[in-house]
Structure 1
Amino acid sequence: MSTRIRMALVVNLLSLIFSTTIVHSNQSTVPLRSFKISENVTYDCIDIYKQPGLSHPLLKTHKIQMQSSISKPELKMQNGKNETSNKKKIGCPNGYVPILRTTKGFVTNSQIFAEKHFHPLSADSPGTHTAGVRSSNGPFRGVQAWFSANALNVGKDQVSYSQIYIGSGSKNQVNYISAGWMINPSLYGDQRVWVFGFWKGKDGKGCYNTACPGFVQVSKVIPIVEPYVLKPGVPGWVRYFIHQDKNTGNWWITQLMDDAPNEDIGYWPKELFNLLDNGANMVGAGGVVQASPSGSSPPMGNGILPNGGPQDSGVFTNIKVLNSNYKQSQMDSFRIESLVDSVKCYGLRIGSQKRFTRLGYFFNYGGLGGNKCGV
């Protein structure tokens, strides 16, 4: 073989390698396949054993759990349409999971916003307002709910989100997990609705989704983070279940499906936490906003105060909890505390289960926001 032919083969080989290799800011593994959902949203199919979540220093000896031991068909919910999933667009092969492709800027912003993420176990941060319910009569093993997702006009320096959550606190330490939907232009770069998962562990640090190590993605079709495509003027539905596994102690997030088996998305390993071994002291649900530095607060829920019917404003329905023995019941089986800190801008109304039994324990919440919401 001549030197010219040999050089040509080398050039062609290098060209092939560089045309199929993608550089990622948070992972070095070359994806098997990629799915471009929109202009700035791409998912890479990464070997489940090489996913970025497992690079957390606390997970060096962690063994992946492939399926939750308590997410069973009897927990399947009935009613409703509009699932939060790109399952028809994303489908990684067996042994691979979808990981959102990120930039260094996204990772940095995720860490910044993790410090600001509101949870009732810590002091409120300036400009944060909330409307929701919680129970501190734990220990709890899980919480689930259906809740409406809505397109809102949120400024570049504002945030609006709705979530279910579990957590425990001791002295100055907090362990916390939440999941829901969010509009956060500074983080995601747009005004779309994004579903998300968040955690704060024993090192005092927190993180969103897979932006930094910790969360273990298991589903090959539904990622922990994705944009939610809404029809104009029509709310969507997020149906999440956060629960502790009976056998491993890991904390799972499951998407409750309407016309298919529930889908275990993934989990936060027990090694990340030091206050959640025997369940969480508190569970809750509700909406949260973060005002801009100028003091202007964004809308919450669907932007309408809860003064009308159950479908007129933002709503959380079928809110259920697992007690320490994994028995599931409506959340109002426990003592409930209402959280509303800015009645000028946002409201909360507990629903009547006698009139709307199909909704289970539910509440309406939200409001337009504005410049008079307080600090």
Structure 2
Amino acid sequence: MDFVLKLVAFILIVYVAQSRETMRDLKSFKLNKNTIYDCVDIYKQPSLSHPLLKNHKIQLEPSFSIFKPKNQIKTGGERKKIIECPSGTVPILRNTKEYVANAQYWTEKHFNPFTVESHGTHIAGVRSQGQGPYHGLAAWMSMHNLNISKDQASYASIYVGSGVNNKVNFIQAGWMVNPKLFGDGRTWSYGYWKGANGAGCYNTICRGFVQVSKTDVLSGPLPYDPKGELGIYFSIIQDKESGNWWIADVNYTEADKQIGYWPKELFDLISNSVDMIGVGGIVQASPSGVSPPMGNGHLPTEDDNASARVRKLEILDSNFEIQESGKYKLEKLLDNDKCYGLKGGKKPILFTYGGPGGASCGI
């Protein structure tokens, strides 16, 4: 009996010691009061408990790396590394009540890429529809700091999706200024998805997105550059073998930074391909009807480099091969030419866009 009691006591001591060691090793990164990332075991991240991912096997890396620049483009700098989790762990967003409430509010207002008539939303960009199917895209978008009120949002994104009747599936990623959502007026990277049964959300606020990188996250503050020389270069592409939708931070001097993926099981329309791809700037007006600035807050000028701009748009076609955007007929989207503009650019710039917004833009 004494031996059994001693054995049990020893096991308890070891367990407590290991637990304390685990707690001591757990790291957290606080970006602001609303945004905290905790380092968790990659195989125990919340998204893997999603009902649709019951039998999902995590994919640690994509089966490809296809978006490689042919000519190096000056970007003005690299995104600053602000998170670095220990090996075997990944940064997962801590869902504070305030953050979740704000995200739910903005989710209801988020831009639907299948219509340019969303209430309070204005858009300036391009898309390709009816020439697919497609398996993804990549584009470089200039980044800008804007003065946005807490009841407004302004962002630029790439997106993929399909729609049938009133049902839509889509994925977006890019940069956004949204003080109410992020808790400050800085420019943040973001991801957004909408899948089966209308489910979906920003970043990792709801279960779904599978984080793979231990350093790069969907949502984080981006470097400030008053001259607008910095850009964000994202790709959203479907893995040919798994069907999962991977997002990467395209890099010019080394391998692309694979952030993670949206498993194909989350979707009922885009598990095999998408019918539409696009890129552009979007704003969400305040309830009073005042629209925020878009892009860099100015209408496009003759000087492409002085305007908000998109360049190096590439499309992954039905054969999983990269095609330059010039091989497709791109539909121009501009729903309000009084407050915002859209202008074709000179290579390598695809187009410039943006505008000051105001109280007369309409909703």
The alignment's TM-score, normalised by the length of structure 2, stands at 0.89
Matched, 1:111 2:115: no
Match of 1:180, SS? Answer: strand
State the shift of 1:269 in Å: 0.2
Alpha-carbon distance in 2 for matches of 1:204, 1:293:
24
1:371 and 2:359 aligned:
yes
Residue 40 of structure 1, CA deviation: 5.5
Give the alignment partner of residue 237 of structure 1, picking from 227, 231, 242. Answer: 231
Residue in structure 1 matched with residue 12 of structure 2 by the alignment: none
- What is the CA–CA distance in structure 2 between the aligned matches of 1:173 and 1:314, rounded to whole Å? 32
One-letter amino acid of the counterpart of residue 95, structure 2 = T
Corresponding residue for residue 247 of structure 1: 241
Amino acid at match of 1:364: T
| Identical-residue share of aligned pairs (%) | 50
Alignment CA distance shift 1:18-1:153 (3 Å): farther
- Residues 346 and 369 of structure 1 are in contact (CA less than 8 Å); yes or no, is this contact kept in structure 2? yes
Tell me how far apart the structure 1 counterparts of residues 295 and 96 of structure 2 sit (CA, whole Å): 29
Alignment partner of 1:133 out of 111, 126, 137: 126
For the 8 Å contact 2:143–2:228, the answer to whether it is kept is no
Specify whether residues 283 and 107 from structure 1 end up closer, same or farther in structure 2 by C-alpha distance, changes over 3 A only.
same
How far is 1:200 from its partner? 0.3
Secondary structure of the 2:107 match is: helix
Deviations 1:269-310 (A, max 9, x none): 000011113311000000000111111110000011112211
User: Which residue of the partner structure matches residue 186 of structure 1?
Assistant: 180
SS of structure 2 residue aligned to 1:374 = coil
SS in 2 for 1:54: helix
Alpha carbons 1:83, 1:257 under 8 Å: kept: no
Pair 1:33 & 2:27 matched: yes
Match of residue 150, structure 1, among 138, 141, 144: 144
Measure, in 1, the Cα distance between the counterparts of 2:127 and 2:67: 27
Q: In structure 2, how many angstroms separate the alpha carbons of the residues matched to 1:100 and 1:233?
A: 31
Partner of residue 8, structure 2: none
**Matching residue of 1:227:** 221
Match of 2:89 among 90, 93, 96: 96
Cα deviation, 1:313-337, whole Å, max 9, x if unaligned, reads 1101001101010111111311110
C-alpha spacing 1:313/1:295, structure 2 compared with 1 (3 Å): same
Q: Equivalent residue of 2:65, what SS?
A: coil
CA distance in 2, matches of 1:301, 1:271: 34
Structure 1 residues 20 and 47: CA distance shift in structure 2, 3 A = closer
Query: Contact 1:86 / 1:222 at 8 angstroms: preserved in 2?
Result: no
Is this contact kept in 2: 1:71–1:254, CA < 8 A? no
Counterpart residue identity of residue 129, structure 1: H
- Corresponding residue number in structure 2 for 1:345: 339
CA distance in 2, matches of 1:290, 1:185: 12
| Contact residue 31 and residue 46 of structure 1 kept, 8 A | no
CA contact under 8 A between 1:84 and 1:238: conserved in structure 2?
no
Gaps of 5+ in 2: 1-14
1:67-82 correspondence to structure 2 within 5 Å: 67-72=61-66, 74=68, 78-82=72-76
The answer to whether residue 229 in structure 2 is matched with residue 202 in structure 1 is no
Any runs of at least 4 consecutive aligned residues in structure 1 with deviations exceeding 4 A, and if so which?
16-21, 37-41
Q: Is the 8 A contact 1:168 1:282 kept in 2?
A: yes
Structure 1 distance, partners of 2:303, 2:67, is 31
Partner of residue 261 from structure 2, selected from 245, 264, 267: 267
Q: Distance in 1 between matches of 2:353 and 2:149?
A: 20
C-alpha displacement at 1:236, in angstroms? 2.3
Maintained 8 Å contact 2:200/2:206: no
CA contact (8 A) 1:76 1:258 kept: no
Q: CA RMSD in A?
A: 2.4
Report deviation, 1:104. Answer: 1.5
Moved more, 334-343 or 229-238: 229-238
Q: How does 1:325-340 map to 2 (within 5 A)?
A: 325-340=319-334
Q: Secondary structure at the match of 2:61?
A: coil
| Letter of the structure 1 residue corresponding to residue 75 of structure 2 | K
**Structure 2 letter corresponding to 1:366:** G
Cα distance change, pair 219–197 in 1 and its aligned pair in 2 (3 A): same
* SS of alignment partner, residue 254 of structure 2: coil
Kept in 2, the 8 Å contact 1:304–1:312? The answer is no
Alignment of 1:255-334 (within 5 A): 255-334=249-328
The 1:83–1:108 alpha-carbon spacing in structure 2 relative to 1, beyond 3 Å, is farther
TM-score scaled by length of structure 1? 0.87
**Residues 118 and 124, structure 1, Cα contact 8 Å, conserved in 2:** no
Structure 1 residue 41: Cα displacement = 4.3
